[in-house]
Structures are given as structure tokens and as C-alpha cells.
Amino acid sequence: MLLRIFLGEGDEYNRRPLYKAIVLRARELRLAGATLLRGRMGFGRSNQLHNASILMLSFDLPMVLEIVDTPEKIEAFLPELKKMMRNGLITTERAQIIRYQA
């Protein structure tokens, strides 16, 4: 299963970047893997545009965090994730693993 988390670069949890807190917690719980992607432009529920252009530099760029593991492990992680996030979007979808090697 693929867990996708949409958040802002400036979001925090316990005075540290939220994305970092989520990745470290997922690692502690031994989820299979996580990747953080930083967006150059985006908007969400507030309709506020976040942009990486020189003229309109945003300090809260959009970020997407993807975590892949079994449905059971993703479902077990969701309550922890919901406690950490004040806002943002969380989605899941079925994923077909083609290759997974160290």
C-alpha cells in the first residue's frame, strides 16, 4: 500500500519539521520505506499559492511524503500520523510492488 502525505515545508511537530518527525517515526516502526519530495509550486485547501520562483519565494513550499508497506502496517501507522498532523492531506492507494531490493 502507498501512503501519501501532502504537507507544507513549514509545518511542525514538537518544534521540529513535521516531515522529519514523520519519516523518523516511520523508520522507528520499521515501515518498508519513505521518500520526501519537495514541490516547486502548489496550493491546497486555503487556495494560497506556494511558489519557489525568485520573485515570489515561499518559505512554506509544498511537500509530498510517500511511505510504502503492507496494508496492515500502513493502517497501524495512521493513528500516529493523525496525531502529528494539524492540517494537510493523507491518502492511501493500492500499490503493486515490482521490485524491492536493498
- pTM of the predicted structure, to 2 decimals: 0.82
Q: Which among 46, 48, 22, 47 has a CA at the least distance from the CA of 35?
A: 22
For 3-47, what is each residue's pLDDT tens digit?
A: 999 998 889 999 999 999 999 999 999 999 999 998 766 766 666
Q: What is the DSSP letter of 56?
A: T
For 56-67, what is each residue's pLDDT tens digit?
A: 555 678 899 999
Q: How far apart are the first and last CA of the chain?
A: 19
Specify whether the CB–CB gap between 9 and 38 falls below 8 A. Answer: yes
Alpha carbon of 59 to those of 4, 26, 38, 70: distances in Å? 22, 25, 12, 34
Exposed, middle or buried: residue 12 (CB in 10 Å: 0-12, 13-18, 19+)? middle
Tell me the domains of the chain and their CATH numbers. 2-93 (3.30.70.120)
